[in-house]
Amino acid sequence: MEVDHYAILGLPSAVQSTKLSAQKITKAYRLKALELHPDKRRHDPNAHNKFQRLLHSYEVLKDTKTREVYDVLVRAKHENVLNDLMYEKMMAESQAWDEEC
């Protein structure tokens, strides 16, 4: 759960994006692909890695099955974050909590 695949495609991160249609995902990916393709960044030594990352994220989100799994994780993380915030609020004196996952 380290990588925010939606953000890599240039989409708003996390929960809002889990509602996006497959077409929207593809469109976002293509826009990013036009921007990040190594042919467009001939002088960027990291272009290749950046593009591989984009491809990987798109592969996760393109396949309905992997996207489903990922979305569940996103929501869970989101809930965790909310829970954490509430907990932190309650335990205002203790701020040293890390995220669980």
Any contact of residue 80 with other proteins (CB under 8 A)? Answer: no
Which CB sits closer to other proteins, 59 or 79?
Answer: 59
CA–CA distance, 86 with 89 (Å, rounded to integer): 5
Query: x/- site string to other proteins, residues 24 to 63, per CB under 8 A?
Result: --xx--xx-xx--xxxx------xx--xx--x---x----
* Cβ(51)–Cβ(38) below 8 Å: yes
* Cβ(15)–Cβ(80) below 8 Å: no
Which CB sits closer to other proteins, 3 or 31?
Answer: 31
Closest CA to 27 of 48, 10, 5, 51: 10
Tell me the two tokens of residue 48: 């290749």
Any contact of residue 6 with other proteins (CB under 8 A)? Answer: no
Residues near other proteins (CB under 8 A)? 26-27, 30-31, 33-34, 37-40, 47-48, 51-52, 55, 59
